[in-house]
Amino acid sequence: MPNLQPYANPVYFVYLLLGLAPIVVGLLLGKRWRLYETAISLIFLFLIFDADKWQQGVALIIYVLFEVGLIFAYLKYRRKHNQTWVFVLTVCLAILPLVIVKVTPAIMAGRNSLLGFLGISYLTFKVVGMIMETRDGIIKELKLLEVLHFILFFPTISSGPIDRYRRFIKDYRQIPSQSKYLQLLEKAVWYLFLGFLYKFLLAYYFGSVLKPRVAHLALIHGGFSKYLVAYTYVYSMDLFFDFAGYSFFAVATSYLMGIETPMNFNRPFISKNIKEFWNRWHMTLSFWFRDYIYMRLVFFLMKKKLVKSKITLANLGYLTLFLIMGFWHGLTWYYIVYGLFHASAIIICDMWLRFKKKHQAHIPSNWLTKYIGIFVTFNVVCFSFLIFSGFLDKLFFK
């Protein structure tokens, strides 16, 4: 059978629609054929990780066995005990495979880890979220097949969106009414259309037609040039339409299966400031980092009274959050600078919002200031994407 990467070509969608047709019919009849859903999930995972990707498939199996064992071991422990060091150790063990995968290329001259596979980051986010909610006492009971179905949910396995266990299982356990499911089908068709428009038309135009041309011209002219400016905006559009298109496909496929996977993008380029941008861009990732890293770090620092100033507390949280996000993308200077850039941008944004609130009587707030905010935010974000792209490394250092 052919190796098919998720939503990468029309052949994948032929397999997808054929595989999902019985699920759609079943849900229209008010039935969820869980055994068939499990079989289809396994088939699509096989299609993703077969042929030359078989080593990734083996790594996925080993990873899932390790992580699921860890989840259930901690759940059993948590029913009687709640020591912090055990929780921290469990989280560290959960992220250890991801850390190994991220660090290996940096210390092994670009060689990839044998533990790596497509989607390891997003599966790790799911697992860590479950462990943290088990610690909080929110998750008290788990069923093995449901945990496996959540972790290995194939529509979102490669790049999200990142769902939460309790939300996912609520959808999985209940069958939507016919009227509700018809609404999901309508949305799914619309999202599939948007996905094709974004990924196969707009992302193709920006990424495969324009980007190579402006990149070539920018490299020929060297340094700061109008072609570098052009590359900044072309790359930003390519990044958005490619990722948003993928996310539309993932959400649409989930809807066809009766699972309301959360959206990942909400018109991010109309954000009036950088904080609003992160509430609209890659939302499931930014909300995951907010809930499981930022909020917990701030709570810990407040509880231990290590930092008295609320402003300093928030700023430390931003720096930690975005540094971790930068390192998560990769151990290269431009990913780390990207994280620091966004942390600095949010700190400056907070300063401005406090100043604006204090002097609101003297600072206008109208349609003009709104569009100025959108313009400034858009350009700040596009510049950050230029850093993220790694093109500056190629332009100035290679």
pLDDT in tens, 15-38: 999 999 999 999 999 999 999 999
User: Residue 365: is its pLDDT beyond 90?
Assistant: no
More confidently predicted of 103 and 251: 251
Instruction: Enter the tokens of residue 371.
Output: 């569009």
Share of the chain above pLDDT 70, in %: 99
Which pLDDT score is estimated for 1? 56
Q: Of the listed 149, 329, 342, 362, which one is catalytic?
A: 329
Which pLDDT score is estimated for 50? 77
Give backbone dihedrals phi and psi of 177, rounded to 5 degrees, phi first. Answer: -60, 160
Grouping H, G, I as helix, E, B as strand and the rest as coil, residue 271 is coil
Cα of first residue to Cα of last residue in the chain, in angstroms, is 41
Among the residue ranges 79-83, 131-135, 164-168, 307-311, the one predicted with the least confidence is 307-311
User: Residue 106: is its pLDDT beyond 80?
Assistant: no
> What amino acid is encoded at 38 in this protein?
T
Which pLDDT score is estimated for 36? 93
- Furthest C-alpha separation in the chain: 67
User: Residue 169: is its pLDDT beyond 60?
Assistant: yes
Average pLDDT, the chain: 93
Return d(Cα 113, Cα 324) in angstroms, integer. 20
User: Residue 361: is its pLDDT beyond 70?
Assistant: yes
221 classed as catalytic: no
Among the residue ranges 20-34, 102-116, 145-159, 200-214, the one predicted with the least confidence is 102-116
Tell me, what DSSP letter sits at residue 262?
P
Return d(Cα 327, Cα 62) in angstroms, integer. 24
Return d(Cα 211, Cα 229) in angstroms, integer. 12
pLDDT tens column, 268-283: 999 999 999 999 999 9
User: Residue 173: is its pLDDT beyond 90?
Assistant: yes
Q: What's the Cα-to-Cα distance from 188 to each of 176, 203, 254, 374, rounded to whole Å? A: 15, 20, 8, 30
List the one residue out of 258, 14, 390, 174 whose CA is nearest residue 4: 14
pLDDT tens column, 255-271: 999 999 999 999 999 99
More confidently predicted of 281 and 366: 281
Q: What's the Cα-to-Cα distance from 379 to each of 172, 279, 344, rounded to whole Å? A: 41, 17, 15
pTM score: 0.94
Which pLDDT score is estimated for 241? 98
Would you kindly state where each structural domain of the chain is located, as residue ranges? Answer: 10-175, 179-256, 268-397
